Amino acid sequence: MKYLLIEDNTELASALCDRMRLDGHVIDHAATLSDGADFLRVGEYDLILLDIMLPDGDGRRFLERHRAQANDTPVIVLTARSEVSDRVGMLDLGADDYLTKPFDHSELQARCRAVLRRRTGSAQTVIRVGTVALDPVSSVLRVGDADVTLRNRELRLLELFMNAPGQIFSKGKLVDRLFSYDASVTENAIEVYVGRLRKHLEPSNVTITTHRGLGYRLDEG
Q: Does domain 127-220 have CATH number 2.160.10.10?
A: no
What does the domain layout of the chain look like in residue ranges? 2-120, 127-220
How is the beta sheet containing 140-143 ordered, strand by strand? 127-129, 132-135, 140-143, 146-149
Q: What is the DSSP letter of 32?
A: S
Q: Is pLDDT at 123 greater than 70 in this prediction?
A: no
Distance CA(195)–CA(39), nearest Å, equals 30
Fold of 2-120: Rossmann fold (3.40.50)
pLDDT in tens, 42-84: 888 999 999 999 999 999 999 999 888 878 899 999 988 777 7
Please provide the average confidence, as pLDDT, over all residues in the chain: 90
pTM of the model: 0.78
Q: For residue 30, how many C-alpha atoms fall within 13 Å in the half-sphere facing its CB?
A: 25
Do the beta carbons of residue 54 and residue 8 sit within 8 Å? yes
Q: Give Dmax (Cα) for the chain.
A: 55
